[in-house]
Chains A and B, each alone.
Chain A
Amino acid sequence: MSITIRRVLIFFLSLIPLGFIVYKTLTNDLGADPAKTIVLFTGNWAFYFLLITLAVTPLRRIIQLNVLHFRWLQAHRRMLGLFTLFYAVLHLVSFLWFVLGWEFSRFDDELIKRPYILVTIPAVLLLIALGITSTKGMMKRLGKNWLLLHKTIYVIALLAWVHVLMQVRSSYFDAVFFGVLVFLLLVVRWNNFRWVQFFYPKNSRASNTNRRDDNI
């Protein structure tokens, strides 16, 4: 499959969650608290895309079998990252619109008194910065700083997890689910994946040469 076809395919697959929630909205099937349903749904999908994006490099570095490998996925990581931003922005906008009703006078009640929302402000600002600097031109212009900036994706993941953790009421399921995945995706990067080579014969290392943005 050519890269263009894959790109189009991944693009439309990534829009399925949006289509699903739009369909639920149009058929009036969001339940008693539609605002909450949409905010929760878009927030979950922002986190899923963040996890998928963070999984691209580990998948490629860890699974290096001839038939089963994920080298092809690396080319689509930027789009997956941009979909993380897309669903995070939908999450934020649906909170401001459907929950807050654009009444910014209520920020005091709805924002300041909800610390789990406050912790997401730096995460959203960073995500926007990563989105803006995701182009090839920006990569060149920022040079070494680009890598440094884009490593803040780890900070974003941790803040997103804290955001979930701080809302725990009666069940740890979400906090454990997202926490375990974030932890795993960070820990496997230990020592820039050099631990992986222990499991492969020497000659396969050549196929695994570092690319410029490999350290993310």
Chain B
Amino acid sequence: MLIKPSQDLTENDVTPEVIYQARREFMQGSLLTATGLGALSLSGNALSSPSQITDLDLPAPDWIKQKINSASANTQQISESLTPYEHVTGHNNFYEFGYEKTDPAEKSHKFKPFPWKVTIAGEVNKPGEYNLEDILSKVQMEERIYRLRCVEAWSMVIPWIGFSLADLIKIVEPKSSAKYVSFISVERPREMPGQASAFSNIEWPYREGLRLDEAMNPLALMAVGLYGKVLPNQNGAPLRLVVPWKYGFKSIKSIVKIKFTEKPPKTTWNLLAPKEYGFYANVNPEVDHPRWSQARERRLPSGLLKPNTIETQMFNGYAAEVAYLYKDMNLKKFY
């Protein structure tokens, strides 16, 4: 098992900031990364303070910066190297900003994530419009280092900062009739060029959903930061979901509405191509996408001459934590 609670941590386990700096220089200045050596390995030990990227100050209100600084360190051991900051923030899908992997980083500067409100609706005792600041004041922040497996067969390892989705759900008190949680992303075509594109076949806003028991699983995270800093626009600022045992598209970004429902909510990719993307979208090496295999993945950054291809794990390696949610289910049918 790759993840286990850490013990025996001392100050010596703190990764000095200088290593992050050194790695950035290493990444920028060297051809080695393109030839397969990849990033320096600095995990293998759980860290006793959150992973930080220091030479960067993203504009954000003080209340969120302070909250992020209060986060406790990741407590789960992960043996894999972190994906460097520039790749986490420079290579991803966020179709609101464009369909190329570099579009989110290049075309998200107009987006204004603050101030931010989240509407809570549906089968709950405490519906209403919540300021993000007020939500954050009621939850504990922590760092979680998670694998992220994209349905396109590439993956990363990312140090998120956020709080348990379960904590938020407890605050709004779902009724017994609530069986599903639906999430809706922001829709601002003036700030998001991908939403204004005539060639996009996505019907905005982006929407996702979980079963309530999935949402209550301790691994489900509401992230507001990564690498010790506030989330950059391209990674779903200011508030996003991270469900590490599911394909990346389930981890909806820039959430403006959370609705508790009796019936399964509609989800964007399932609406777009129901035979390719199911509601569950659990990472599963045995169930292929109709157009490609899911048995392996390219862990990024991948080398050029030596592709960094690894076997995909069931539930992305989180089977011990989440498999109970799907016992007796036919995962080939409920993909």
From B293, which residue of chain A is reached at the shortest CB distance?
A109
Partner among B31, B202, B307 whose Cβ is within 8 Å of the Cβ of A35: B307
In the bound complex, residues from chain A placing their C-beta under 8 Å from that of B199 are 171-173, 176
In the bound complex, residues from chain B placing their C-beta under 8 Å from that of A167 are 291
Contact A31 B298 (CB under 8 A): no
| A25 proximal to B (CB < 8 A) | yes
> A-B pairs with CB below 8 Å: how many?
92
Bound Cα distance A23, B298 (Å): 24
| B318 proximal to A (CB < 8 A) | no
Contact B291 A116 (CB under 8 A): yes
Contact B200 A35 (CB under 8 A): no
Interface residues of B in 70-98 (CB under 8 A from A): 83, 87, 90-91, 95
Contact A25 B101 (CB under 8 A): no
In the bound complex, residues from chain B placing their C-beta under 8 Å from that of A110 are 292-293
In the bound complex, residues from chain A placing their C-beta under 8 Å from that of B12 are none
In the bound complex, residues from chain A placing their C-beta under 8 Å from that of B272 are 170
| B275 proximal to A (CB < 8 A) | no
Contact B293 A25 (CB under 8 A): no
Given contacts A30-B34, A32-B87, contact A171 B302 (CB under 8 A): no
Given contacts A172-B199, A172-B201, contact A32 B91 (CB under 8 A): yes
Flag A58-95 by CB within 8 Å of B: 1 or 0 each. Answer: 00000000000000000000000000000000000000
A–B Cβ pairs within 8 angstroms, 16 of them: A26-B31, A28-B28, A28-B30, A28-B33, A28-B34, A32-B90, A32-B300, A34-B302, A34-B303, A34-B304, A35-B302, A109-B296, A114-B293, A166-B291, A171-B200, A172-B201
Given contacts A33-B298, A33-B300, A166-B291, 6 further A-B contacts (CB under 8 A): A26-B31, A31-B102, A32-B87, A33-B301, A101-B307, A109-B293
Q: Which residues of B contact A (CB under 8 A)?
A: 27-31, 33-34, 83, 87, 90-91, 95, 99, 101-102, 154, 156, 197, 199-202, 272, 288, 291-293, 295-296, 298, 300-307, 309
Q: Which residues of A contact B (CB under 8 A)?
A: 25-26, 28, 30-36, 38, 97-101, 106, 109-110, 113-116, 166-173, 176
